């Protein structure tokens, strides 16, 4: 029990250091100031400003509450441990419960510590994640499907919601490209680490001789910020094409011209959406993706040295893979930026990628 008391003391010291570094105590004053602003009689006259302040207050209040709750729980466990030390009749089950409480606090602090690294200007945005097959033929398309499942499972694990915006199926198997919108607190902040080229090495199930095959997929992660920054799209700069959706669909998905392709002529950017049955909805989603891509392009043009939008220090180019998935011999997934490795490949492909994300965020911060 003494070990738990000492570990809890160390944990509380770390908590106080991080709390001071992030100036959490100042959040209470900010919260009071914003609440006072909202009570003003003319507050809602400027709708845009009112919504911005409301969202800021909600975020500050939630952050403040999270830190307060964790500190209360740490102090409560300290008091329980003091009582336990004085009580000579305590049973083993009670001791195990205290250990379990400490482990839960340790996990909560680790999550809070990781969240503190998400301080980029777009980290709290929703994310648009796109995966494209690269070199490797059918294996590359199968790899895209594996990555799609990995990110969907990650969203389910972390409580993010996701929506399919576009999917282009391969002719034989797998997926040529897929685009997903991911919604939730700090969705972009966590997933920006995935931006780049991913490499798969395995004995190909699509080869009759089961030969070793190397294939590639490109993952793009873009912050969705259209509520904060306005992008003007002129009609003369756009070409809009409609066509029939491809792949499995049924119920008229592939029998009507519901899919939409947008071409932004000045930039050369092309976006397509075909996941919805409604052409109007697909068009709306395509505009959403195009705006996000133009915002990213604009940001990169202003400051090429910055990496916060790309999620990495290097551009996502072929031959610059950020992560390799070895599915033969001593199976392994290795991130080439942080050198973080995981031998439980099945767990990673089932969405357990938070350790890679945490390693990246710490590496990027340093």
| 281 or 90, higher pLDDT | 281
pLDDT at site 308:
54
pLDDT at site 78:
92
How large is the average pLDDT for residues 214-223? 93
| 218 or 210, higher pLDDT | 218
Structure tokens at 306: 């910055």
pLDDT at site 314:
44
Residue 342's CB is within 10 A of a number of other CB atoms, namely 17
Of the candidate ranges 42-56, 275-289, 295-309, the one whose mean pLDDT is the lowest: 295-309
pLDDT at 244 over 50: yes
pLDDT at site 318:
55
| End-to-end CA gap in the chain | 35
pLDDT at site 331:
95
How large is the average pLDDT for residues 303-330? 67
How large is the average pLDDT for residues 171-198? 92
Phi then psi for 82, rounded to 5 degrees?
A: -65, -40
In this prediction the pTM is 0.72
Tell me the per-residue pLDDT of 55-114, one tens digit each, with 9 for 90 and over: 889 888 988 999 999 999 999 999 988 887 776 655 556 678 888 999 999 999 988 888
Tell me the per-residue pLDDT of 328-361, one tens digit each, with 9 for 90 and over: 989 999 999 999 999 999 999 999 999 999 999 9
pLDDT at site 198:
97
Tell me the per-residue pLDDT of 136-156, one tens digit each, with 9 for 90 and over: 889 999 999 999 999 999 999
Q: Which domains does the chain have, with CATH numbers?
A: 2-115 (1.20.58.410), 123-366 (3.30.70.1660)
How large is the average pLDDT for residues 218-224? 92
How large is the average pLDDT for residues 154-168? 91
Cα 162 to Cα 283: distance, rounded to the nearest angstrom: 18
pLDDT at site 313:
40
Q: What is the mean pLDDT of the chain?
A: 84
| 54 or 320, higher pLDDT | 54
pLDDT at site 229:
55
Q: Predicted confidence band at 293 (pLDDT cuts at 50, 70, 90)?
A: confident
pLDDT at site 355:
94
pLDDT at 28 over 70: yes
């Amino acid at each position: 029990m003494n070990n738990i008391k000492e570990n809890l003391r160390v944990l509380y010291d770390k908590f106080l250091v991080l709390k001071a570094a992030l100036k959490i105590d100042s959040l209470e004053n900010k919260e009071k100031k914003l609440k006072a602003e909202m009570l003003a009689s003319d507050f809602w006259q400027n709708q845009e400003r009112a919504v911005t302040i409301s969202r800021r207050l909600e975020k500050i209040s939630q952050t403040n509450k999270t830190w307060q709750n964790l500190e209360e729980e740490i102090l409560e466990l300290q008091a329980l441990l003091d009582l336990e030390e004085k009580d000579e009749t305590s049973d083993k089950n009670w001791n195990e419960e205290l250990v379990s409480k400490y482990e839960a606090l340790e996990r909560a602090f680790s999550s809070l510590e990781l969240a503190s690294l998400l301080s980029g200007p777009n980290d709290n945005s929703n994310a648009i994640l796109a995966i494209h097959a690269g070199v490797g033929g059918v294996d590359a398309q199968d790899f895209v499907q594996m990555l799609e499942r990995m990110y969907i499972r990650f969203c389910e694990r972390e409580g993010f919601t996701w929506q399919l915006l576009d999917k282009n199926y391969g002719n034989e198997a797998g997926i040529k490209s897929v685009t997903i919108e991911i919604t939730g607190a700090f969705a972009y902040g966590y997933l920006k680490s995935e931006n780049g080229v991913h490499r798969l090495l395995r004995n190909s199930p699509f080869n009759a001789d089961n030969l070793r095959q190397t294939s590639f997929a490109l993952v793009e992660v873009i912050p969705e910020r259209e509520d904060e920054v306005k992008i003007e799209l002129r009609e003369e700069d756009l070409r809009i094409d409609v066509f029939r959706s491809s792949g499995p669909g049924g119920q008229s998905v592939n029998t009507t011209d519901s899919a939409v392709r947008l071409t932004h002529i000045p930039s050369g950017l092309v976006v397509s959406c075909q996941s919805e049955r409604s052409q109007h909805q697909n068009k709306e989603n395509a505009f959403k993706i195009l705006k996000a891509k133009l915002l990213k392009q604009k940001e990169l043009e202003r400051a090429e040295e910055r990496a916060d939008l790309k999620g990495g220090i290097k551009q996502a180019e072929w031959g610059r893979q950020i992560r390799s998935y070895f599915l033969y011999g001593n199976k392994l997934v290795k991130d080439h930026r942080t050198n973080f490795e995981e031998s439980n490949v099945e767990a990673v492909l089932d969405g357990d990628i938070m350790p890679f994300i945490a390693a990246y965020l710490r590496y990027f911060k340093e």
